[in-house]
């Protein structure tokens, strides 16, 4: 037995109130962290540029920072210009030094009300999700989380936000009705990084924030920076070896680690094995874990549910090993091997070990001048 996933709706034409028709332009929230722009903001500028060009409007970055960030904040604007922004809204205030929900929500809400963009995009980071949810509620508008695709409906200029649904078993496209701006978040590494255009410039619009430290309830007592060596850098890894339920038993996950070690790769996992406690949660690849774009992704015993697929299909080369010839992963992998992962993985580890050892023993090849 099955039932339709959703009633088949006639395409609903979105008719905007006069007031909302004035909302124009695409905005990207420029997140920065310890002096540099977060890569997800640059990825969003690439995507925002396409949306703005389709709509025939400007692309703006939004930079919010503490006063002590000084010239650094202008540097973030310059970075935004080089990645495609036409202008930047710059808000600097004493209360914006460290990210806190209350002042940032008020600041971004003020900017939206003052300059009225039709689309506002944020990275789906811990900051972006915290901020987007609060701003959308304050503005009483629609927000679509973790989009994997953004497009413009040519009929009515509305934003079509596509994201996984039903726990990642299907995809759905969401539209915002008679509300503006249309807000969406996108996870890091989902969109491709655009080329930078050094020297490209734009204009900066400064806007103040009427808020004093005494008005703000929450205080940051301390910031404890992560020790980067301890945390897996999955999103930016070039080679990933990932394991799933097809490994059969938790002990077999060691076979994934063995191959990863030989390759100098990061270890990834599908949601079921993380939920079963075979491996730590920060190794999870997929809609509810990390999104990755490695050069090589080896998936062993992973069936390839949409929830996993959206997290790794940006990989250049996907190798799938699964004992089920009908596993969906073979629909989108580049290479497939049908067989027992527990015997194929050790053979692969051995083969890669021999290959890398042989390459290491060769004299370094001269690069053609």
360 binds other proteins (CB under 8 A): yes
Q: Helix, strand or coil for residue 159?
A: strand
> Which residue's CB is nearer to other proteins, number 205 or number 216?
216
> Which residue's CB is nearer to other proteins, number 196 or number 288?
288
| Range list of β-strands (E), 58-114 | 59-65, 87-92
98 binds other proteins (CB under 8 A): yes
Cα angle 193-197-203, degrees, rounded to a multiple of 5? 105
Q: Helix, strand or coil for residue 309?
A: helix
Query: Nearest distance from residue 155's CB to other proteins, in Å?
Result: 12
Answer for which of 268, 272, 301, 311 binds other proteins (CB under 8 A) is 272
156 binds other proteins (CB under 8 A): no
- What DSSP string runs through 6-28? S--PPPPP-PPPHHHHT---EEE
Query: Nearest distance from residue 156's CB to other proteins, in Å?
Result: 12
Residues 125-144 that bind other proteins (CB under 8 A): 125-127, 129-130, 132-134, 136-138, 140-144
Closest residue by Cα to residue 136 from 126, 145, 148? 145
Q: Are 271 and 292 in contact (CB under 8 A)?
A: no
How far is the C-alpha of 309 from the C-alpha of 270, rounded, in Å? 10
> Which residue's CB is nearer to other proteins, number 37 or number 59?
37
Closest residue by Cα to residue 79 from 128, 33, 42, 127? 42
CB atoms within 10 A of CB 250: 12
Answer for which of 208, 248, 250, 346 binds other proteins (CB under 8 A) is 346
> Which residue's CB is nearer to other proteins, number 61 or number 202?
61
Q: Are 267 and 260 in contact (CB under 8 A)?
A: yes
Q: Which stretch binds other proteins (CB under 8 A): 72-80, 86-94, 193-201, 309-317?
A: 309-317
3 binds other proteins (CB under 8 A): yes
Query: Nearest distance from residue 321's CB to other proteins, in Å?
Result: 9
How far is the C-alpha of 171 from the C-alpha of 164, rounded, in Å? 4
> Which residue's CB is nearer to other proteins, number 38 or number 49?
38
Answer for which of 16, 20, 55, 160 binds other proteins (CB under 8 A) is 160
97 binds other proteins (CB under 8 A): no
> Which residue's CB is nearer to other proteins, number 170 or number 212?
170
108 binds other proteins (CB under 8 A): no
Residues 22-81 that bind other proteins (CB under 8 A): 31, 33-34, 38
Contacts of 55 (CB under 8 A, 6+ apart): 26, 118, 152, 157
226 binds other proteins (CB under 8 A): yes
167 binds other proteins (CB under 8 A): yes
DSSP summary character for residue 46: H
How far is the C-alpha of 108 from the C-alpha of 308, rounded, in Å? 33
Q: Which stretch binds other proteins (CB under 8 A): 45-53, 84-92, 189-197, 317-325?
A: 317-325
Closest residue by Cα to residue 77 from 68, 94, 90? 90
20 binds other proteins (CB under 8 A): no
> Which residue's CB is nearer to other proteins, number 5 or number 254?
5
């Amino acid at each position: 037995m099955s039932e339709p996933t959703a009633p088949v709706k006639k395409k609903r034409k979105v008719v905007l109130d006069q007031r909302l028709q004035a909302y124009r332009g695409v905005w990207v929230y420029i997140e920065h962290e310890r002096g540099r722009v977060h890569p997800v903001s640059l990825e969003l500028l690439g995507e925002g540029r396409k949306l703005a060009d389709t709509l025939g409007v400007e692309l703006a970055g939004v930079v919010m920072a503490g006063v002590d960030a000084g010239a650094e904040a202008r540097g973030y604007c310059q970075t935004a210009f080089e990645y495609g922004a036409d202008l930047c809204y710059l808000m600097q205030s004493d209360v914006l030094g460290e990210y806190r929900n209350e002042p940032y929500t008020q600041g971004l809400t003020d900017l939206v009300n003052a300059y009225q963009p039709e689309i506002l995009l944020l990275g789906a980071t811990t900051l972006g999700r915290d901020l987007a949810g609060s701003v959308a509620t304050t503005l009483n508008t629609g927000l679509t989380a973790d989009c994997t695709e953004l497009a413009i409906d040519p009929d009515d200029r509305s934003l079509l936000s596509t994201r996984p649904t039903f726990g990642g078993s299907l995809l759905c496209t969401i539209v915002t009705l008679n509300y503006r701006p249309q807000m969406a978040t996108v996870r890091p590494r989902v969109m491709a990084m655009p080329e930078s255009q050094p020297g490209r410039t734009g204009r900066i619009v400064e806007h103040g924030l009427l808020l004093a430290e005494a008005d703000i309830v929450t205080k940051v007592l301390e910031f404890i920076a992560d020790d980067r060596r301890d945390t897996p850098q999955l999103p930016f890894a070039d080679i990933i070896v990932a394991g799933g339920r097809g490994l059969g038993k938790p002990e077999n996950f060691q076979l994934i680690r063995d191959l990863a070690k030989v390759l100098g790769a990061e270890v990834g996992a599908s949601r079921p094995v993380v939920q079963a406690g075979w491996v730590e949660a920060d190794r999870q690849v997929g809609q509810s874990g990390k999104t990755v774009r490695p050069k090589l992704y080896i998936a062993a015993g992973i069936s390839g549910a949409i929830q996993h697929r959206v997290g790794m299909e940006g990989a250049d080369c996907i190798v799938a090993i699964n004992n089920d010839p009908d596993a969906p992963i073979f629909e989108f992998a580049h290479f497939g091997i049908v067989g027992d992962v527990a015997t194929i993985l050790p053979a692969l580890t051995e083969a890669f070990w021999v290959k890398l050892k042989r390459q290491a023993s060769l004299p370094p090849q001269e690069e053609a001048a």
